[in-house]
Structure 1
Amino acid sequence: MTTHLTFARGDITEAPVDAVVNAANSSLLGGGGVDGAIHRKGGPEILAACRALRASHHGRGLPTGQAVATTAGRLPARWVIHTVGPVWHPAEDRSALLASCYRESLRVADALGAATVAFPAISTGVYGWPIDDGARVAVHTVRETPTSVTEVRFVLFDDAAYEAFTAFG
């Protein structure tokens, strides 16, 4: 089965998909950027589910490159898949960890039975990953990862991110 890739400029919290991927921090308790927007718009149900994860399997937080799912609360999606992207560092190649975020999110989506998934540009905000390289890693990884997901939608916040992702699409 081939996964269809689409690209949209917009607000990922409004994406009509089965699962929205959250570029979370390791605490899973909300933050800025995409993470903050998902927690604000999704409501307290997401935070409660994240706190339950912290109280059980992820007491020390979610490791970079891993993914875990919760309810989507008040979002149009059914689930939020939280993944922790790496902080970009010019002297250390962390692209394998960034690729792992996309692969692990698709693995979780498959386990949930999600057919449609929306991704943000993971690590390209406050984590400093250069948008062109982040787009390259994201699109290549999603294309190369076996999955039952039929559509991956990259929902990009601004024109620069949209242009970078569509250049690889």
Structure 2
Amino acid sequence: MHSLGRIIGIGLVAAAAITTAGCGSDADSTSAPSSSATGGTSTSTGRECIAEDVKVSGGFGEAPEITIPDSCDPPKSLIVKDLVTGSGPGAVAGQPLTMNYELVTWSDKQVLDSSFERGKPFGLTLGAGQVIQGWDDGLTGVQQGSRRLLIVPPNLGYGEGGNGVAPNETLVFVTDAVQVGR
């Protein structure tokens, strides 16, 4: 298992320059249906998944169980959905965050990394380029105590691959905002 510093940290392939309109809001983001799958060797279903297609069990502070469906294709846009709503002001660029997370790769539906398993949350400064673009965009507005689902397409993750992530891999994170700000 890899640590988050290696998985989502610095080393943002060329994808860091690509941005997706509307990313970073608390609302779900989806795009038009696609006829091709992203990552892995799965066959296209002709329909992109939405947040509700990915099943997550467990509450804030507990290691989640993430189930990725076979009935739809990985989304091509960042999907952000609060599973548990926290309180307080939403995170903004430049703020420190302390996050717990679990990462499952779309193509093989396996846990690639988990701070829950290590028992140690991950610290970052939001918007400072310390993590993949999907985290910088997707954690904007997160409130302390929130559990947030992030489905990160390859262009906001590792693109052509790296740090243990396969080329064109879609990443599914469940994140818990342990602390927002100092």
Both structures adopt the same fold (TM-score exceeding 0.5): no
- Structure with higher helix content: 1
- Structure with higher strand content: 2
What is the TM-score normalised by the length of structure 1?
0.31
